[in-house]
Structure 1
Amino acid sequence: MHSYDELTPPERALWEAFPEGRRVDLRTGVPEEDEVATGDRWGPERTVRASVVAALLLGAQSESSGAVAALRIAGARITGRLDLTGSEIRHTLSIEGCRLEEEVSLRGASTRTVEIANSWVPGIDARLARLDGVLDLSRSVLEGPLVLINARVAGVLDLDDVRISGDGEWAVSAGGLVMEAGVFARRLTTRGGLRIPGAQLPGGLFLGGARLENPGGVALAAGHVVASTVECSRGFTARGTVRLRGARIEDLLTFEGAHLDGGRTALVGTAMHVGDFDFRTASPPSGTVDLRSAHAHWCQDGERAWPEEVLLEGFTYGSIRYGTPTTSTQDLETGEDGSAGGGDTTRTGDDVVRRLAWLRRNPGYVPQPYEQLAGMYRQIGHDSDARRVLLAKQRHRRRTLNPAGRLWGHLLDVTVGYGYRPWLAGVWLMALTLLGTLVFRTHSPVPVKPGEGAPFQPFVYTLDLLIPIGGLGQRTAWYWTHDASQWLAYLLIASGWVLTTAVVAGVTRTLNRN
């Protein structure tokens, strides 16, 4: 316990100001002299012991009636360790533009608003803390980790313009963090990863313009996070993997204008569920994007959004469209192409081509992504686009078959487009009918029974050869002595059987699939 007599002048000023909640400002007003980076050179006239701060917060000074006590100090050098472990604090703590020489400990503490803004701090340990107010660290520099494991904050967590350097893999460790409001970390810069697995963020996580650096490791570990919004946009940069495995994001997950430099794996979004998924990155991610078993109600991406490898097996979505990153609020609402930002656009053949190229980024043959895309096209009434996707699926599958299967696949493709282009059979039938009619017209066959039957009709005879079932009476009534015509007749009979088999196989596959 400190006595008033042993306090230094700045400590006495703080002691006297506390009961009324007045701010003690020790700044000179000269920017160069108030720079917290050089605060270790501030003299006794700006020095306050951390033990004095702790004593005031823990009740060493009586409160004034008619005023709300609070500890507010600016421009001070705070020496010693500010240790409030396990304490119950009923007063606001506001530290602004200060230099703290040792780590701040709020481990297991129960407190109200804590503000350590625009300050230099060796690190903050607030695991298991309960803050019945705001935790404001905006514009501060932490030369050690921020620990918020299993903490609970009633107000917002403000990390805007904060720089944090971890002493290991993680700069921020906040697994199990429970927020009643949002986490604002715009333009946050870290040396080490941001770890928040299992966090509950009903007010959202806002990382616009943030830069998370953990090369070769994990830049953002947010597995099984429950949030309303996760914003990794407007220049967000991750040097390391972004992990969102099993996350539940009710509204928006956006990487608009982001840079993902994750090495081998840029984004892990397996089994995540999101409302709107905006993946209009500023440039293609440097590593694999893993969306296996993920689900999005609505998805938007861009031409430069995807890396060479995208894992899409099990990825489902209600609607998907192309877009370009926007630069203003108005652009976000209307879209640069003038279409409604949340609506669907008229799809063209080019859209199908781009989508199929996207599906081919998935390694190997996986049927589900094709079925998902085709189902989406059917849902919006674009049946022809759906058939194109399913045809591409069969062509991709063909490459995985043995030689006989590939040969049969090529035959189905050429004749009826695997049943998705049945009109091709009609084209072949007309071409072969024309060929047979022209050739047979130049020669005269021999009747099987002279003087009986209908006269020879080249057109009807050709059709009779091409129709494998039933007959028109011409094929059995005439035969050829001309070798070329006889071989053509054999070819037309074989073609008829092939066309019929292909049509039946292709149409059966289509009907079974639909």
Structure 2
Amino acid sequence: MADQYSVRALSYDQLTSAERELSDAFPMGRQVDLRTGVPEDDRVAEGGQWGPGRTVRAAVIVALLQGANTAQSGAIACLRLAGGRISGRLNLAGAQIAHVLWFEDCWFEEGVDLSGASTQSIVIVASRVPGLEAGLTRVEGRIDLRRSRLESGSASPLHRKVTALSLINAHVSGAVNLNGAGIAAPEEWAVSAGGLVAEGGVYCQGGFVAHGELRFMEAQLPGGLHMRGALLKRPGQRGVALVLDNAVASTLDFSDRFTANGIVRLWGARVSDNVTFEGAVLNGPRDGQGPSLTASRMQSADFDFALARSPSGAVDLRGAQVSHLHDSRHSWPDVVELDGFVYGSIQRDEAGERREAVRQRDSVAHRVAWIRRSPGYSPQPYEQLASWYRKAGHDDDARRVLLAKQRHRRQTLHPAARVWGHLLDATVGYGYRPWLAGIWLLALTLLGTLSFGSHSPNPVKQGESAPFQPLVYTLDLLIPIGGPGQRTAWYWSNDSLQWLAYLLTAFGWVLATAVIAGVTRTLQKS
């Protein structure tokens, strides 16, 4: 064995007992277990105190993976180590690794560098690692970091930020498994995975906790991102907890008490199936100055936003497109950006039961109040909501929404236009309540008929006027064009009745103008 083995200047005889055991086991793929079996002695957090009997130099591991001890015939070499302390930096940058790496309950003195490497599966389970650099790495298998603790170490030469786990532009044919892991970089990037391709998806469940920002910008995740019950806390100074800008995924699962103490950012994310926040808690930044969720231009089939409680910060859905929206009474904060938000249907969650929101009591009032949470005025959210009501066969509700739109718009106009708007609203409901004109006409006709019927007017030309009819005379005043000619044949010596005649004529013109303007508005897109 000694004449076949060397690690740089080290011979087999210079290896420690633990290193020799690992070297002998490697060709056969056997696991070397250095654990004592005593829980107090095997705690990974105390791995810095493990002595030489449990210590393996990183250089020995590198040598084995680079062919220092070749596999035996009929066996598959694999580096499997449990309960060991790895001293020195495990530097495999750019290496071509044909074997699986498997570490369990291990304590790494320094970080692991796999940047630019091509390797089989990487398994570091229930271990402590001060930083894992795997940018540009190609993994034919999976990356498994279950229950491990990763901490930001020294700055990577490729990044100014200190990152606990870097997967920038890495390609993983399997899954990235972070279930139960803890990643700490409180003021920096806990995970930097921009451009990551993880065909089997990314899993951050089962007690996953991150101190710092998680970045998956432009990542491609055919297997989805699964963060059920994950906790993202103490983000950096910018207050961003999770970034998925322009990511492409099959699903984004932030359900089951997922908690983010910082901004969740999904700008331009494209999700083929569903984005779910069912039962999630979005606390927003610690200083309360930023949004809880910003998902502008996001695209998704289903968007489930039935949160456990209302977000502490604003929700930005500008330009987002979803086929189905699910919400609840806890979904929306005081500020919701909805300009350009397009959806095919809305379902509301009440008492654990979901149903179409159009069937719920006070649906229109609730949805209009939802739109009014947007700062400023924009017609698109109202038109989108009205379109949804029409598609559901609720035309009356659609008209109520469009009427609310005009009332909101009126608040943005100059005073004269606001006065005209109030007049349109009172007379014909901006054209969406034309029956109001009939009520006004009936009330004014009744007023005129009763008032004029108790007095006798004077004829303009004696003996040439048709008999005076109070009802006909009143209608003649209220109808601006045409008529039977009664208003021109009679006049009043009573000043009060003459002024009433003038007012009814003016009301007639105003009512006719309002009807024409209102009907025109309903035929045009204002």
Shorter chain as normaliser: what TM range?
over 0.9
- Residue 345 of structure 2 is aligned with which of 316, 319, 333? 319
Alpha carbons of 1:167 and 1:406: their partners in 2 closer, same or farther (altered >3 Å)? closer
Q: What letter corresponds to residue 177 of structure 1 in structure 2?
A: L
For residue 468 of structure 2, what is the aligned residue in structure 1? Answer: 456
SS where residue 229 of structure 1 aligns? strand
For residue 200 of structure 1, what is the aligned residue in structure 2? Answer: 220
Q: Which is further off, 235-244 or 99-108?
A: 235-244
Deviation, structure 1 residue 312: 1.7
Q: For the residues of structure 2 that align with 1:338 and 1:208, how far apart are their CA atoms?
A: 21
Q: For the residues of structure 2 that align with 1:233 and 1:148, how far apart are their CA atoms?
A: 24
Q: What letter corresponds to residue 35 of structure 1 in structure 2?
A: R
- Residue 353 of structure 2 is aligned with which of 322, 337, 353? 337
Q: Are 2:75 and 1:67 equivalent residues in the alignment?
A: yes
Q: What letter corresponds to residue 194 of structure 1 in structure 2?
A: L
Q: What letter corresponds to residue 42 of structure 2 in structure 1?
A: D
Q: What letter corresponds to residue 426 of structure 2 in structure 1?
A: V
SS where residue 487 of structure 1 aligns? helix
5 Å matches for 1:132-147?
Answer: 132-144=140-152, 145-147=164-166
- Residue 242 of structure 2 is aligned with which of 202, 208, 220? 220
Q: For the residues of structure 2 that align with 1:142 and 1:437, how far apart are their CA atoms?
A: 88
Alpha carbons of 1:428 and 1:381: their partners in 2 closer, same or farther (altered >3 Å)? same
8 Å contact from structure 2 (residues 142, 175) kept in 1: yes
1:472-495 CA-partner distances (Å, limit 9, x unpaired): 233233222222222221111111
SS where residue 475 of structure 1 aligns? helix
For residue 240 of structure 1, what is the aligned residue in structure 2? Answer: 262
Alpha carbons of 1:167 and 1:83: their partners in 2 closer, same or farther (altered >3 Å)? farther
SS where residue 429 of structure 2 aligns? helix
5 Å matches for 1:356-435?
Answer: 356-435=368-447
SS where residue 81 of structure 2 aligns? strand
Q: For the residues of structure 2 that align with 1:371 and 1:91, how far apart are their CA atoms?
A: 59
Q: Are 2:276 and 1:254 equivalent residues in the alignment?
A: yes
For residue 477 of structure 1, what is the aligned residue in structure 2? Answer: 489
8 Å contact from structure 2 (residues 213, 236) kept in 1: no
Q: For the residues of structure 2 that align with 1:130 and 1:237, how far apart are their CA atoms?
A: 31
For residue 501 of structure 1, what is the aligned residue in structure 2? Answer: 513
Alpha carbons of 1:407 and 1:346: their partners in 2 closer, same or farther (altered >3 Å)? closer
SS where residue 133 of structure 1 aligns? strand
5 Å matches for 1:104-119?
Answer: 104-119=112-127
Q: Which is further off, 446-455 or 269-278?
A: 446-455
Q: For the residues of structure 2 that align with 1:346 and 1:279, how far apart are their CA atoms?
A: 17
Q: For the residues of structure 2 that align with 1:319 and 1:380, how far apart are their CA atoms?
A: 9
For residue 354 of structure 1, what is the aligned residue in structure 2? Answer: 366
5 Å matches for 1:86-97?
Answer: 86-97=94-105
Q: For the residues of structure 1 that align with 2:372 and 2:436, how far apart are their CA atoms?
A: 26
8 Å contact from structure 2 (residues 62, 92) kept in 1: yes
Instruction: Give unmatched runs, 5+ long, in structure 1.
Output: 325-334
Deviation, structure 1 residue 453: 4.5
Q: Are 2:190 and 1:166 equivalent residues in the alignment?
A: no
For residue 58 of structure 2, what is the aligned residue in structure 1? Answer: 50
Q: For the residues of structure 2 that align with 1:32 and 1:354, how far apart are their CA atoms?
A: 58
Q: For the residues of structure 1 that align with 2:353 and 2:241, how far apart are their CA atoms?
A: 33
Deviation, structure 1 residue 427: 0.6
Deviation, structure 1 residue 58: 1.4
Q: How many residues get paired?
A: 500
Q: What letter corresponds to residue 337 of structure 1 in structure 2?
A: E
5 Å matches for 1:22-61?
Answer: 22-61=30-69
For residue 489 of structure 1, what is the aligned residue in structure 2? Answer: 501
Alpha carbons of 1:289 and 1:243: their partners in 2 closer, same or farther (altered >3 Å)? same
Deviation, structure 1 residue 28: 2.5
Q: Are 2:20 and 1:4 equivalent residues in the alignment?
A: no
Q: For the residues of structure 1 that align with 2:325 and 2:26, how far apart are their CA atoms?
A: 53
Q: What letter corresponds to residue 62 of structure 1 in structure 2?
A: T
SS where residue 375 of structure 1 aligns? helix
8 Å contact from structure 2 (residues 93, 117) kept in 1: yes
Deviation, structure 1 residue 428: 0.6
For residue 283 of structure 1, what is the aligned residue in structure 2? Answer: 309
For residue 155 of structure 2, what is the aligned residue in structure 1? Answer: none
Q: For the residues of structure 1 that align with 2:361 and 2:501, how far apart are their CA atoms?
A: 41
Q: For the residues of structure 1 that align with 2:493 and 2:196, how far apart are their CA atoms?
A: 91
8 Å contact from structure 1 (residues 216, 240) kept in 2: no
- Residue 194 of structure 2 is aligned with which of 159, 175, 184? 175
For residue 20 of structure 1, what is the aligned residue in structure 2? Answer: 28
1:352-380 CA-partner distances (Å, limit 9, x unpaired): 11111111111111111111111121122
1:54-90 CA-partner distances (Å, limit 9, x unpaired): 2221111121222211111111112111111111111
1:221-267 CA-partner distances (Å, limit 9, x unpaired): 21111111111221222222222111111111122222222332222
8 Å contact from structure 1 (residues 349, 385) kept in 2: no
Deviation, structure 1 residue 275: 1.6
Deviation, structure 1 residue 418: 0.5
Q: For the residues of structure 1 that align with 2:474 and 2:513, how far apart are their CA atoms?
A: 19
Alpha carbons of 1:131 and 1:56: their partners in 2 closer, same or farther (altered >3 Å)? same
For residue 82 of structure 1, what is the aligned residue in structure 2? Answer: 90
Q: For the residues of structure 2 that align with 1:199 and 1:322, how far apart are their CA atoms?
A: 31
SS where residue 353 of structure 2 aligns? coil
Q: Are 2:299 and 1:273 equivalent residues in the alignment?
A: yes
Output the aligned Cα RMSD. 1.7
Q: What letter corresponds to residue 311 of structure 1 in structure 2?
A: E
Q: For the residues of structure 1 that align with 2:423 and 2:94, how far apart are their CA atoms?
A: 77
Q: What letter corresponds to residue 507 of structure 1 in structure 2?
A: V
Q: For the residues of structure 1 that align with 2:354 and 2:209, how far apart are their CA atoms?
A: 35
Q: Which is further off, 230-239 or 100-109?
A: 230-239
Q: For the residues of structure 2 that align with 1:27 and 1:216, how far apart are their CA atoms?
A: 41
Deviation, structure 1 residue 348: 4.2
Q: For the residues of structure 2 that align with 1:119 and 1:338, how far apart are their CA atoms?
A: 43
Q: For the residues of structure 2 that align with 1:512 and 1:428, how far apart are their CA atoms?
A: 25
Instruction: Give unmatched runs, 5+ long, in structure 2.
Output: 1-6, 153-163
8 Å contact from structure 1 (residues 456, 474) kept in 2: yes
